[in-house]
Amino acid sequence: MLEDPTTAAPHPAPPSSWPATYPQGYAVVDVETTGLARDDRIVSAAVYQLDARGTVQDHWYTLVNPQRDPGPVWIHGLTEEVLEGAPRFPEIAGELAERLADRVLVAHNAAFDWSMIAREYARSKSAAPVRQRLCTIALSKELGLPLPNHKLETLAAHYGVVQHRAHHALDDARVLAETFRPSLHRAAETGLRLPLLACQPLTEWSDGPAIGRQRSYRQTWRPSRKRPACPYPNPGRYEPGGQLVQGMRVAFSGDTSVDRELLEDRAIEAGLHVATSVSRLTSVLVTNDPDSPTSKTAKARSFGTPVIDEAAFMQLLQDVTPAPPTNR
């Protein structure tokens, strides 16, 4: 049985003055999915409703039948048999909307959770009633929390919140709610402007596997990590503020909030080359800790390789530019 948030860590005392510009309510969200691509689906979702000062008001959880392969079962533990009798997304869309309405969506790597939710609503020919989102990774950075990485379990340990079942949507959402409250109060104490971003409804999605995509996650163990060769030539370095282009060489360094293997799979599916090291040919380095003393970050600095964080990379993956045609 998952822990009820009302019996978890004690609530911090609210600041004597609360910023008038802060939102009036939050919906802390976590979704587990079949993967990271545009055709991937939600298999479970959880929402914790918080008031203006971060106190839990209600929580809700549901399984969702994705009507396809459930994806990385070794991560979320939800097999086809477990999901067979679960409601499809259109059947839970209304109840989820009621829990999101008039609240800021809060998630760990919010760009991912928002994009998955928005696409599910688009498939249902409707839109999620969300106008703003807040990423707890971005908030942790704004607060300057002394975290060695940006995993949810690390944030939880920082605030003394016990995590019982990682990658279970309800427990992840509970943990995030319990860590968001003290972060919110720290922000209020210093008058920090919250890193809120606008949520635009998505109008495009995919219902089928991407062309050339050959994967099956039916097994419950991790598949071989032998990567297919990238079919596109390297177009050069990523230009900050621009778009990723198929064929770009992407390297990863440090911990990520989304499972690293899923990030690599998504990059490959988008037509990018996943490099195991950084060289002069590397187009971009993805890391949440650009100042860490790793060999990859050191080489990136020496080569002048562009560096972006995980959230920015996830956003860029939504619209990768096709490789230019080659002359034959």
Task: Give 72-98 pLDDT, tens digit per residue.
Answer: 898 899 999 999 999 999 999 999 999
Mean model confidence pLDDT for the chain: 86
Residue-wise pLDDT tens digits, 130-180? 999 999 988 998 999 998 878 899 999 999 999 999 899 999 999 999 999
Identify the pLDDT of residue 10: 53
Q: Picking from 268-277, 301-310, 317-326, which range would have the lowest pLDDT averaged per residue? A: 317-326
- Residue 284's beta-bridge partner residues? 250
d(CA 307, CA 244): 13
Identify the pLDDT of residue 218: 41
Mapping DSSP to helix (H, G, I), strand (E, B) and coil, where does residue 231 land? coil
Cα dihedral 150, 151, 152, 156 sign: negative
To the question of pTM greater than 0.75 for the whole model, the response is: no
| pLDDT for 200 beyond 50 | yes
d(CA 60, CA 236): 46
CB 64 within 8 A of CB 87: yes
CB 283 within 8 A of CB 243: no
